[in-house]
Each structure stands twice: as C-alpha cells, then as structure tokens.
Amino acid sequence: MRLSTLSLTLAALAGSSFAVNAADGAYKEFKSWQVSCSQTQSCSMRQFISDNPVSGLELQRSGLPEAPVALLISPSESALLEGEGELIVAISIDGGAPTTFKDKEIAIDANAQALSLSGNFIGSGLIDSLKNGTTAKITISRSQMTAEGDVPLAGAAASLLFIDEFQKRVGHVDAMSAMGDKAPNPPPPVSDIRRFADFPETVRARFADGGECAETEEAMLDGNALAHKIAEEQTLYITPCGMGGAYNFPYAVFVEVYGTVSTLPFPTMQEGAPSAVTSAFNLSYDYEAKAFSAFFKGRGVGDCGTYNEWKFAKGAMGPQLVLVEEAFRDCPAEIDENEAVDPANWPKSWPLR
C-alpha cells in the first residue's frame, strides 16, 4: 500500500508539506538546491536565499524532447517587478563576463513574484557555467533601482545530473549535463496542465460559475493537473476541483472519449454498501500502472481517516474505476507522536471479509 500525493504545489499553498511517492515524481536536496520532478517529467531546481537582494534562483524544464530551459530569478524588492522602465538582468559566474538579458528575454511571472528568463541556455554554455562554477553574481536593474546578490552554486552539478536522469536524457543530445549523441526520446504520454485554457472547452466549462469545480483557482493547477492520453480518442484530465481545507484537497477526473467528456466516478463504501463519489481527496495517480489512491485525513498528522485504492477497468463507454481497497480508522482521542502510520493495518471496509 502506498501513500502519496499528486504533487507538492497544493501542500505549499496550505503551508504544509507532503512527501512525494516515486510513482508521482521525485524530490532531492543537493547542498542548498531543492530539486523536484513530477511524473510528467517536468523538473525544477531552486534555492531560496534569506537576507539577499536576490532571494531566489530556479531552473525549470519540462519533459518534452529538446524542451527549453527557463530561469526564474526572484528579487527581494517587489518594486523591481512592479515599476516602470526597461528591465536588465546580468548573470556572471565566478567573475567572468556577464550574460545579459533584456526586452523580450525577460517576462514577469506575477504568481511566482519572479523574473522569467528565456534563451538557449544549453547552447550558450550558461548551463555548463552553472554546473562548473562556484558563485553566480546576479544583477537586476530597472530605471534607478538595482539589486545585486550572490548565489552559491555548490550542488548545481548534482542537481542538473539528477534532472537529466529523471527525464531519461543521459547520453542524449538534449541533455543539460550528461549530453551524448543519442536522439531525443519521444514525449511522455502525460503532460502538465497549468491554465484553464489548456483544457478542452468541454472541460473548461466545469470551472465556470455554476460548474462543479467553480471555486478552483487557476494557480492551483500548476503542478497538480495533468492530461494522460490512455488510448486513441481517450484522454484523462486529472485536476484540483474546488477549494480544500488545511490538509485535504479535492480532485476530479474527467474522461474525454471521442469528444464527449464525462466525470469519472470513484467507487466507495457507505454504511457497508457500494456507492460512488465524483471527487477524491489528496489524489495520487500512477499513470504507468493506471491506478489511483487517495487519503482523506481525519486530522493533519494523518493518523486517521479513509484510504482508498482504485484500478482501471474497461467499460462500454470508456474507462471505469474498480475499488481495490478501502481502509478507515477513527481518530484516537490522543495523538501518539511515535506511532507509525500505516493504513495497511487499519480496518478494511473493502474488500469485505
């Protein structure tokens, strides 16, 4: 039995943290770098620096063949993002000649409160400089405002290699660190959804006023919503759906079959009898096994609640879910901080014994 969540983003919005199961992605730390990858093979490496005019540096890359690399730089002063005048960003590694960005090479990411830089970072040698360097000096200027900060690069080489390995680019021409002469791999069958516009129109309607996911904020999609083409003319859309609480976040799954979209129900048990619901909390999806799991927490520590597992079955009108297991535990009166939480040992409401 595995316990996991689809991604880290919703947990971050709530000010808590979840560990990501390997089926969903991966998370590692190398020195001061935090590296996270989703099961769509999208990865990022980032670090945050306190008491620094440049408070953060992040590298992002999707899992698509020859995908471009994006750099996000966060200034401590929001005035640099909100002011007027031309933005200029310069990056210098170990005192070398700076690489300068301006005009269309810089976009303001309001959600991330960062500057997003674009360019051929692999071909220009900037990635190699980050990999082999010790310190990056970053200077941001706009009109009369300037922010300058140093970012340590220890651990960057290991972070870049980890991303190449996770994205299966080692030895391929589109690798960042471990480049070879192999052609790029084909794209994965799953892809990230970051905006409502990424959904087909029939799914977008679910997020409009009066729709079942109307309370969902678009920022919640990033890192938590994905599409999976499971067969010809059959695509799954897994997405946050509505506002959750402090530690439980609702998801819905929509199935598009030949242009018709329906909600995928989750079988469950109610008072000892079969039932079904249209959303699941803290949903995890293993696209290779085509299996879901969910854990509705009775309280934040996760020592009680309901755990479910489902697998796919072929239906006459498209895929359906079959309940594999459901376990439930009432919340004990006292919290035992030394208790190992394992729903495998909880009483089963399915299968019936």
Tell me if the pTM is above 0.85: no
**pLDDT value for 24:** 56
**pLDDT value for 17:** 28
Two tokens, residue 158? 């290991």
**pLDDT value for 327:** 96
Nearest residue to 147 (alpha-carbon basis) of 107, 94, 90: 90
**pLDDT value for 18:** 30
Alpha-carbon distances, residue 329 vs 117, 129, 143, 295, 310 (angstroms) = 49, 53, 60, 11, 19
**pLDDT value for 30:** 97
**pLDDT value for 3:** 40
**pLDDT value for 21:** 33
Spatial separation of the C-alpha atoms in residues 147 and 89, rounded to whole Å:
10
**pLDDT value for 245:** 86
Spatial separation of the C-alpha atoms in residues 236 and 226, rounded to whole Å:
8
- Spans of the chain, pLDDT less than 50: 1-23
- At 16-71, the pLDDT tens digits run 223 333 345 689 999 999 999 987 889 999 999 999 999 999 999 999 999 999 99
Query: Which residue do the tokens 């208790």 mark?
Result: 339
- At 170-207, the pLDDT tens digits run 999 999 999 999 999 999 889 999 899 999 999 999 99
**pLDDT value for 218:** 93
Alpha helices in 112-181 (DSSP H): 126-132, 156-166
